[in-house]
Structure 1
Amino acid sequence: MLVYTGTATVVSYLPKKNKNMVLLSTLHTEAEISDCQDRRPVIILDYNCNKGGVDNLDKVIGTYSCRRMTVHWPLVIFHNIIDVSSYNTFVIWREINPSWMPGKRNKRVFLEQLAKALVTPVIERARVRDQPEHPVPLATSPVAPSKRKRCQMCPRGVHRVRGQQEG
């Protein structure tokens, strides 16, 4: 099944029984079928030629990932967006700053520095927001220490000051 809009083409292809592949392409504008024996759509052939890049990206992202086990699919997509974005940021940073850690491609150090740079302003804003406008003066009179009392959990006949509580 092929669906074409003005900007994208969607292909649904059954390579095997009970196995469906759905591909979206903005490159292909027509429903082209290959001349091979299996008569696959050209979109599938182009994907198969270039899928090494996708597999390589998955491998690189898998080393340092923020993914967590979840049953909520929007979180899965959000974690994947963060992983891909952090890798893209790392690649751009290395191109702009080739003198940063020369001879090493240390993504872990970069991600730690990126996380600190992103979190520090938020922590500072929270710190400023949590401070009261007018500081409360400290009490000048000393507070008398409370007198030791009987344990409320122990029976009256037992004269313990501290008892063991269950709970």
Structure 2
Amino acid sequence: MTLKTNKAVILVSSMHHSPAEDLNSQKSEILSYCNTTKGGVDEPDKNCSIYSRSRRTWHWPMCLFYCLLDISIANAYVLQKSGSYEAPVERGIFLKELACSLVLKHMQK
């Protein structure tokens, strides 16, 4: 990956009102803040892409369904991790247990 240094970046913030710079990185305060807090979106995107349920389809309702399913599973895993006093289960094991619990009644039927 090449770094482009001659690229203009415009950032707008209602939180930062002065053009202060971060002394450690020599970047503006707004850019440093943006870089440190952007993980709130990147981490769930990474988790959804690793264990994605999506399939190739041209039907937009199915695309939406698969996206909502991925997000719901990621949220369920976060809730399970934060609500349990035991050691957190690995995500792959959690997915297998979730799938088994969802289809168990149908299999017994």
Q: Into which bin does the TM-score normalised by the smaller protein fall? A: 0.5 to 0.7
Where do 5+ consecutive residues of structure 1 fail to align? Answer: 1-37, 43-48, 126-167
Residue of structure 1 aligned with 2:68, choices 81, 85, 109: 81
Aligned runs of 1:64-143 on 2, under 5 Å? 64-99=51-86, 102=87, 106-125=90-109
**Alpha-carbon deviation of 1:52?**
4.0
Q: Which runs of 5+ in 2 are unaligned?
A: 1-9, 15-33
TM-score relative to the length of structure 2: 0.61
Could you tell me how far apart the structure 2 residues matched to 1:88 and 1:41 are? 28
Mapped to 2, the partners of 1:76 and 1:60 lie a distance apart of 17
Summarize the alignment of residues 54-69 of structure 1 with structure 2, pairs less than 5 Å apart: 54-69=41-56
Which entry has the higher C-alpha Rg, 1 or 2?
A: 1
Higher strand share: 1
Higher helix proportion, which one? 2
Identity of aligned residues (%): 33
- State the 4+ residue runs in structure 1 displaced beyond 2 angstroms: 38-42, 49-56
- Aligned-pair Cα RMSD in Å: 2.4
Normalising by structure 1, we get a TM-score of 0.42
Structure number with higher relative contact order (C-alpha < 8 Å, ≥ 6 residues apart): 2
- Corresponding residue for 2:22? none
